[in-house]
Amino acid sequence: MRLDKLLAHTGFGTRKEVKKIIKDGYIEINGTIAKKPGEKVDPDKDDVRVGGQRIYYEEFVYFMLNKPAGVISATEDFIHETVLDLLGPADLVQEPHPVGRLDIDTEGLLILTNDGQLTHQLTSPKKEVDKEYYARIEGVVTEDDVAKFEEGLILEDKEEDFKTRPAKLEILSVDEEENESEINVTIHEGKFHQVKRMFAAVGKEVLYLKRIRMKNLELDETLPPGEYRPLTEEEIKNLKPE
Ligand code: URA
């Protein structure tokens, strides 16, 4: 890979800016000052240093974001803030994108990566990846609802009505006086507003929704809404198919 591309991809500036750093003699490759922006380097093998500090290149980046409400899970939008606006400039260099979508008012686990293959593996309907949500519901959720979620619900759709795949609904608490319930639900599809539509189909409304797990990756509850961190090697390994 070209030296100027490596430096731009590791956050040292635009291609134009890094050309200047190279020309000014700040870069060493295997102990020799580099002069040419087009010089070829192997980021895995060559010892590339900027002002004496070794740089390491990772082709792929993986982050876990605790998405706050009010932000959309898209890469650009003319009206709303997007999840990418929550990332620092150095973490945007490798152009991560959100893996799947959460509604604007939904909080919780959102993976951001530039690994298209992993994105596909986690979002393709054929892979049926588990997505678990915590929700507060207006209404008293009953064992009858648990059975209906397990059986599958018919949801109306623009093209064709469809039956949801069996979903695991777990009642955490019910407050009959307040007419509210707390639940966890695990679905294996990712249809538009799916959880909200499933509750609407049993006559109830979702008041608050938060994704707490995707496949085997659980939301790190120490991350406040709006904060993110890189995934660990172990978390990345566990997300990928065996
Ligand atoms: N289901 C919904 O209704 N909304 C989300 O954001 C995710 C799942």
- Which pLDDT band, with edges at 50, 70 and 90, does 83 fall under? very high
- DSSP label at 12? S
Q: Record the tokens describing residue 82, joined without a space.
A: 């997007």
Task: Locate the ligand 1 atom nearest the alpha carbon of residue 211 and give its number.
Answer: 7
Coil, helix or strand for 186? strand
Model pLDDT for residues 222-234, shown as the tens digit of each residue: 999 999 999 999 9
Give the position, in ligand 1's atom list, of the atom nearest the Cα of 101: 6
Pocket residues: Cβ below 6 A from ligand 1: 102-103, 106, 193-196, 209
- Give 63's contacts (C-beta < 8 A, 6+ positions apart): 87, 91, 96, 111, 112, 113, 228, 229, 230, 231
The reported pLDDT for the residue numbered 157 is 82
Asked whether the predicted pLDDT for residue 209 surpasses 90, the reply is yes
Report which DSSP code applies to 21: H
H-helix or E-strand spanning residue 162: strand 162-163
The pair phi, psi for residue 135, each rounded to 5°, is -145, 150
- What are the structure tokens assigned to 172, written together? 């955490």
Q: What is the pLDDT of residue 170?
A: 98
pLDDT in tens, 54-69: 998 888 999 999 999 9
- Give the chain's mean pLDDT: 95
> Which residues are the active-site residues?
103
Task: Write the residue with the smallest CA distance to atom 3 of ligand 1.
Answer: 193
Return the pLDDT at 159.
79
HSE of 199, CA atoms in CB hemisphere, 13 A: 27
Residue 174 pLDDT:
98
Phi, psi for 88 (deg, rounded to 5): -70, 155
With beta carbons less than 8 A apart as the criterion, state whether 225 and 121 touch: no
Tell me what pLDDT residue 183 has: 98
**46-60, 161-175, 213-227: the lowest-pLDDT one:** 46-60
| Protein residue closest via CA to atom 4 of ligand 1 | 193
Model confidence, pTM? 0.88
pLDDT given at position 221: 94
